[in-house]
């Protein structure tokens, strides 16, 4: 007779373990909440730009002068991932065209898969980069404010070491 209860198996248990693992890793980060929030902000900012493959490097480099956590900055670039590229860059392109008040090529005409978006026309490239910069600033500010509150909350949940009496 086995005295221990049966173990859960399957995908749900795997996801539970992964989420718990990353939650514990987040609790154990040694940075201040402000440094973590700055890392989150610069990572989200870099993730809004169409520089595929360079977003993580840009975020880590930006985290240095902003004194943000580099690990969080690298992770935050995944705000733009294969599922969100098109909606993010469509919005950035439209925002850039609105700010410039110009008519560039239609978004559907641009070949996003080639990775050569900046070679189409200067007006499309400028509209995309301007829109990415403006939306990146807005997302970075939001990420900083929400991240700061979240990291402060997580820090209060961190178990404190017992104090020794004199």
Per residue in 104-151, pLDDT tens? 666 666 665 555 555 556 777 788 889 999 999 999 999 999 999 998
Phi and psi angles of residue 103, each rounded to the nearest 5 degrees, phi first: -110, 105
On whether the CB atoms of residues 63 and 39 are closer than 8 A, the answer is yes
- Token reading at 29: 């980060």
Q: What is the pLDDT of residues 16-29, one digit of tens each?
A: 888 877 777 766 66
Instruction: Please state the pTM of the whole predicted model.
Output: 0.72
* Dihedral over Cα of 106, 107, 113, 118: its sign: positive
User: For residue 52, what are the contacts with CB-CB under 8 A and spacing of at least 6?
Assistant: 115
């Amino acid at each position: 007779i086995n005295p221990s209860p049966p173990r859960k198996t399957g995908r749900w248990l795997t996801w539970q373990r992964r989420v718990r693992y990353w939650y514990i890793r987040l609790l154990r980060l040694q940075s201040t909440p402000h440094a973590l929030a700055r890392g989150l902000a610069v990572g989200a900012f870099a993730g809004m730009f169409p520089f595929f493959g360079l977003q993580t490097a840009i975020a880590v480099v930006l985290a240095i002068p902003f004194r943000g956590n580099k690990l969080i900055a690298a992770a935050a670039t995944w705000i733009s991932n294969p599922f969100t590229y098109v909606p993010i860059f469509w919005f950035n392109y439209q925002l850039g065209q609105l700010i410039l008040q110009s008519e560039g090529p239609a978004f559907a005409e641009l070949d996003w898969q080639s990775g050569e978006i900046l070679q189409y026309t200067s007006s499309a490239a400028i509209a995309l980069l301007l829109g990415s910069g403006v939306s990146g600033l807005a997302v970075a500010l939001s990420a900083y404010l929400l991240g700061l509150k979240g990291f402060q909350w997580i820090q209060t949940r961190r178990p404190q070491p017992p104090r020794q009496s004199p």
